[in-house]
Structure 1
Amino acid sequence: MIKKLFLLLVFFPLWLTAQNNKFANDTVKVNDFSDAKYHFNVKQIIIPSALIAYGVIGLHNDDIKKLNTDIRDEVLKNGHKENRIDDVTRFVPMLSVYALNLVGVEGEHNFGDRTIILTTSLLVAFTSVRSIKKLTNVQRPDITSYNSFPSGHTATVFAGAEFLFQEYKQKSIWYGISGYVVATGTGLMRIYNNRHWLTDVAAGAGIGILSTKIAYWVYPFLKNKVFKGGNTESKVTAMAMPFYNGEQFGGSVVVRF
């Protein structure tokens, strides 16, 4: 069952290709920084800020703490069985961007530029999650450690979901929706596996979304000042992407063939 669910999550965005290709606009913007995603706007941070605020308030609010506990107790009462599919699904949205490009569905950026954006997003999320975990020192619901808040898995998957949305929203809104479905499911699995409280997941989601938005805001600077506006498609053939899941440091490597 888990294998079938994993295959569905991986190939669902590819299935959308057949459904939406005939409506797609194949023009890819290159170095056009007039798009709203490259510029800070208060409206862009309302949802991620609300999610983070809920998580932070929940650290000290008795009603929210009780809701956390009630959810945990309900999960355990209904015959909780831990599985680790969320260790895999956290990477599905971001890797879908590369998979879609591999089968010929072009996103907003070429390989080098989108990897710069994704790496920036993951670095922001990694730094934020690690720092906040040390500051808050919240015990996990399974009482194994004191690094529960916020959820690193959830931050990673929501960063990827926002990345998928931004790269393919001009093609079809359904690509972005599929990414957020996977992200939401991953966050819920963190609760089901008794690894995180609801507030951990909410804050992680907000951090992930905001991290990707920040990555797009700083991308024009990186492109023009760090990479000097060069052709990153021809210069970048591989990129290491760090991650932090709340327990281990690690990384993944994307290679352009």
Structure 2
Amino acid sequence: MTSTLKAQMKADSLSQTDKDTFHLTVTPPPAIRSTAAGLVVPAVMIGYGFAALNMHSLVDLNHSTSKELIEHNPDFHTSIDNYLQYAPVAAVYALNLAGVHGKHNFRDRTIILGIAAVFTAGSVEAVKHITHEMRPDGSDNLSFPSGHTATAFASAEFLRQEYKDVSPWYGVAGYAAATATGALRMYNNKHWFSDVVAGAGFGILSTKAAYWVYPWIQRKLFKNSTNGHAATTVLPYYNAQWHSAGLSVVLFPR
């Protein structure tokens, strides 16, 4: 009888515990999940590039890839990569002129593009002068990461961000042009494979960062004139040739 009573009391206790217990599931907002996912790919690409500076297996892959390209295309040379890197940006402005409007107006997208350019050039130039990686053709020691590829992928991400709500194919086309730019840098014997991979990561991340910080810049630094004639804003700039940076005041007619 005593055993039966104890068993009944235990069952009642478990039943009450089940009733009093609730489970809390915390799900990050979609925007946070999207931001985190967007960071992973470029971060991995940049990490791969840095790993290839010293990891023997990745260094060997760089050299074998370069050797293979040169053996099969010994006389290959083109300068189209100097222009192709800007194709996605040109497409954004051309599409707007044609009446296919993206996310932002001329003023806002131009400011975002300027911020992305500063982030891209600043990060790439800094890393180049820290790592001193020799180019495949031996012309200098500023191989890592690829600046052309960084610019191309920053441009491609700019196109994708502006038109992803119109059609995903605009972004696909932009990334195809950026990938071609990176491939041509290797075919021209100017960069190792890891230079191109890391350059792509720096470019993508720079443009994403520009879109993240622009709302803050818009709130803090963008001033609408009270007389209705012009709007002013303050923009950072970076000169890769002279390795200088500063601030510029830009006037936008209203």
- TM-score normalised by structure 1 residue count: 0.76
1:46 aligns with 2:56: no
Deviations 1:18-71 (A, max 9, x none): xxxxxxxxxxxxxxxx9949x983211000001001100000010110110011
- CA distance change for structure 1 residues 230 and 194 in 2, over 3 Å: closer, same or farther? farther
Quickly say closer, same or farther: Cα 1:229–1:53, change in 2 above 3 A.
farther
Q: Which residue is equivalent to 2:176? A: 181
1:94–1:163 CA contact under 8 A, matched in 2: yes
Answer yes or no: is 1:165 the counterpart of 2:160.
Answer: yes
Aligned residue among 215, 220, 244 for 1:225 = 220
Q: 1:115 to 1:240 in 2, by over 3 A?
A: farther
Whether the aligned pair in 1 keeps the contact of 2:132 and 2:144 (CA below 8 Å) is: yes
Q: 2:57 — aligned with what?
A: 63
- Residues 216-252 of structure 1 show CA distances to partners (whole Å, capped at 9, x for unaligned) of 1101011111104789xx648xx998675xx898xxx
Whether contact under 8 Å (1:169, 1:175) holds in the other structure is yes
Matches of 1:122 and 1:41, distance apart in 2: 20
The aligned counterpart of 2:122 is 127
In structure 2, C-alpha distance between the alignment counterparts of 1:226 and 1:192, rounded to whole Å: 43
Which of 201, 204, 208 is 1:213 aligned to? 208
Q: Secondary structure at the match of 2:63?
A: helix
Question: Residue by residue, what CA displacement relative to the aligned partner does 1:152-203 show, whole Å, maximum 9, x if unpaired?
Answer: 0000010010010010000000000000000000000000000000000000
Partner amino acid, structure 2, of 1:128: S
TM-score, structure 2 length as denominator? 0.77
Residue 156 of structure 1 aligns with which residue?
A: 151
CA contact (8 A) 1:151 1:203 kept: yes
> C-alpha distance in 1, partners of 2:105/2:201?
27
TM-aligned CA distance change 1:115 to 1:35, over 3 Å: farther
Cα RMSD for the two superposed structures: 3.0
Check conservation: 2:115, 2:236, Cα contact below 8 A.
Answer: no
The amino acid of 1:106's aligned partner reads H
Q: How does 1:1-257 map to 2 (within 5 A)?
A: 36=31, 41-80=35-74, 81-228=76-223, 235=231, 244=240
Q: Deviations over 1:132-171 (max 9, x none)?
A: 0010000000000000000000000100100100100000
Q: Deviations over 1:48-105 (max 9, x none)?
A: 0010011000000101101100111111111331111000000001111111001111
**Cα distance between partner residues in 2 of 1:183 and 1:154:** 7
- Using the alignment, how far apart are the partners of 2:237 and 2:173 within structure 1? 22
Q: In the aligned structure 2, how far is the partner of 1:171 from the partner of 1:227? A: 27
Q: Is the 8 A contact 1:122 1:243 kept in 2?
A: no
Task: State which structure, 1 or 2, has the greater radius of gyration over its C-alpha atoms.
Answer: 2
Contact kept, 8 Å, 2:113 with 2:158, in 1: the verdict is yes
One-letter identity of the residue aligned with 1:208 = G
For 2:132, give the aligned amino acid: N
Shift of the 131–241 alpha-carbon distance from structure 1 to 2, 3 Å rule, reads closer
How many residues are aligned here?
213
